[in-house]
Structure 1
Amino acid sequence: MEEGNSAEERNNAEASKRIRKRKPIVVSTDMEEGNSVEERNHVEASKRIRKRKPIVVSTDMEEGKSVDERNHVEARLFAPFRHLEKIGYRLRLLENESLAVVHVPGLSDDAFDVDGNCHVWSIVKMIGRAVDFAHCYPLDSSERFFLDYGILFDRLFTFMASSSFEFNKCLYEPLVSKWPLKVNVQLGYIGKSSTNFVNNVVEPSSGEILVRNINQLVAIDKETRKPTPFPSWWKEKHGEKAVRKEPLIVQKLSKPDNAHTYTLRASWSETDLYNHVNWTSYVVYSIDALRHGIKEGVLRGMNKEVVKNGIQRMQMAYFGECVEGDQLTVYFWEVKDQPRTVYFDIERDGTSVFQNTLTYHQ
């Protein structure tokens, strides 16, 4: 275990070892065919960097400041994350500050379906919270942030353009502990006005990578609400830390005429701080549509037995935004000779706002 872990974390690790009385599952470093050399190198690098001594982020205020000054700084910088701190979120950096390790308590009790599998949207939400924590939690009272990402928000928004997930099959094994977990966050790529981050969910006691995620983001100017280039200083300062070196490109799907449909209305509980439908909500819409198709018997290759095996891959692309009250139509279909795979296209007023591809484990 890494230095500084709590007694509870160490006890959980020992308990996990005793429960599993078998050879630990080893995650293959062979990525999906077609992935770049940089991605494969990243997996190997992740193994090496776990052995390096991390920097523990301190929340101590600078000496010499008055109580009022310290309270003001703490309220402005740290207060938005106090609830996460209270439930166990911790941020640690490697010596070169190119990797953020977010310790999270794990999945909640309502994160599992009737088959005992993790809801994929619960995993997506957990990764989203951990990435936000890594990006925006201040490293100290001098307003330093991991990769200076928090500073970018002074004039920029980011829009999720695309996202990919690979779920290790051991994620769905009951004996593999989901409490606590670590989320490793690294810069993947910086382009002119887009960037991506590589995020790995790790089981601490074994070091197994349970989920691998890449999120492609586009910089949006707060005033014009249009894509805008990243500052040159940010690219020059952090560009060499990128581990992927290429954008995540998800090809747009071509919806067939015989696609099945599922309709819904976006609700307030599915929106985010910007009052837009949260990017994770579209995952819920996709799986609800899939379950509807299974119940209605309109899918040939998908049934309850297939979905029990859990999702293996998920690729998403975002084209627009939705708000509370929008009427949405989820189109879904299968393709011959592509088993255990379902495609989705979500439209608002006849315009595609989101597409998704789900492939299940054998």
Structure 2
Amino acid sequence: MATHVKEYDLVLDSQKLQAESHFPGISYDDFDRGGRISPWKICRMFEAGRAIPFILGDFLDRSRLTSDKAGLFVLGGEYYFDSCLWDATRKYNFFPYKVTLEVINVGQSSLTFRQVLINKLDNKELATFYMKMVLVDLHTKRPIARPQWHQEKFRHLQGSQDDRVKVLLNAKLAVPEGAFQAETLVVPSDTDFNGHTNQASYVRFCLDAAEAANKAGFLQYVDGDICRYPILKISISYKGETTSGDRLFTSVWQDDLSPQVLNFATYRAEKLVLVVSITFKPKPKPRSVAKL
């Protein structure tokens, strides 16, 4: 494992079904050009909140489940952001936080999780991430069934709490004609220890494409830099993997019925590799002035 995980404070329940990873605070590099915590940094916070329990705590018996022949990969998920997240850094100059991790469903080859980012100063839930991972054969790149011992041990977790993720992963997509398109070259610093483009990097690619579309006059909803618009939700579905040196093309367009929703489709050559939907906080309606 090439990833380096520091000895952060980790709390695991006795069955390794729930975990809490504690972090001392945020840093200068966590902010974007608009002065808020950048959405891709929040994605990295959730990633750290998974890596620490898996690596330090052997969460879900990961060391036995994965090997040099099989690995766990994210299929997709949904991020929900509370409005207080974007104002937290203005209320607190510094705040420690924790990320909880809970298994909410298991399938033949998949595992579904719920993560919550919590401000430890006031115990407010700042963001939530529902995510599905799948066990993959590293040679064929195809999903494989979890070992029998793992299925038996966690059989009691089978249920239907992952319906929202299923709907997301099975959603159809049609890129409209005339959608704005942005080009991105994946560089080594965009990748993770598997050599694949990191989840947070994809979110940054999409938001960069959105601002490029905004500057080109394709977004009627946006007034000013898009980074100043708080995000309420990000839905993301991975259709393929990309690596350093790949040239990606991301189409971005506004939803016909809800202009505060931006849709994204990313391609490598002709292959679809990513589908994303980002919901921004609606602009406040101007107050009407009563006529005398």
Normalising by structure 1, report the TM-score: 0.71
Asked if structure 2 preserves the Cα contact closer than 8 Å seen for 1:170 and 1:176, the reply is no
Q: Of the two structures, which has the highest relative contact order with CA contacts closer than 8 Å and spacing of 6 or more?
A: 2
Alignment counterpart, residue 110 of structure 1, candidates 3, 6, 29: 29
Partner residue in 2 for 1:175? 91
Counting matched residue pairs gives 275
1:63 aligned partner? none
Q: How does 1:298-309 map to 2 (within 5 A)?
A: 298-304=218-224, 307-309=227-229
SS in 2 for 1:215: strand
Say which of 131, 138, 152 aligns to 1:236. 152
- Pick the structure with more strand per residue: 2
1:155-199 Cα offsets, whole Å, 9 max, x none, are: 421222112100000001111566311000001211111111110
* CA apart distance, 1:332: 0.4
2:208 corresponds, among 259, 284, 288, to: 288
Structure 1 residue 84 and structure 2 residue 3: aligned? Answer: no
By how many angstroms is 1:200 displaced? 0.4
Q: SS at the partner of 1:117?
A: coil
Among residues 318, 325, 338, which one is paired with 2:238 in the alignment?
318
Which of 275, 279, 289 pairs up with 2:195?
Answer: 275
Q: How many Å separate the matches in 1 of 2:225 and 2:73? A: 36
Measure the CA separation in 2 of the matches of 1:292 and 1:106: 31
Residue 148 (structure 1) aligns with: 61
Could you tell me how far 1:107 is from its partner in structure 2? 2.4
Alignment of structure 1 residues 115-264 onto 2, 5 Å? 115-138=34-57, 145-154=58-67, 155-173=69-87, 174-176=90-92, 179-241=95-157, 245-247=161-163, 248-249=165-166, 250=168, 251-264=171-184
User: Using the alignment, how far apart are the partners of 1:112 and 1:288 within structure 2?
Assistant: 15
Determine which of 316, 330, 337 is the counterpart of 2:250.
330
Distance 1:258 1:310 in 2: 26
Unaligned 5+ residue runs, structure 1? 1-75, 139-144
Q: Which one is further off, 325-334 or 220-229? A: 220-229
Taking structure 1 as reference, are residues 135 and 177 closer, same or farther at Cα in structure 2, changes over 3 Å only?
farther
**Bigger Cα displacement from structure 2, 107-116 vs 208-217:** 107-116
Amino acid across the alignment from 1:130: G
* Greater CA drift, 211-220 or 148-157: 148-157
8 A contact 1:186–1:243 mirrored in 2: no
Identity %: 26
Q: Secondary structure at the match of 2:49?
A: helix
SS of match in other structure, 1:110: helix
Contact 2:234 2:277 in 1 (8 A): yes
Secondary structure, in 3 states, of the residue corresponding to 1:147?
helix
Counterpart amino acid of 2:17?
S
Match of residue 25 from structure 1: none
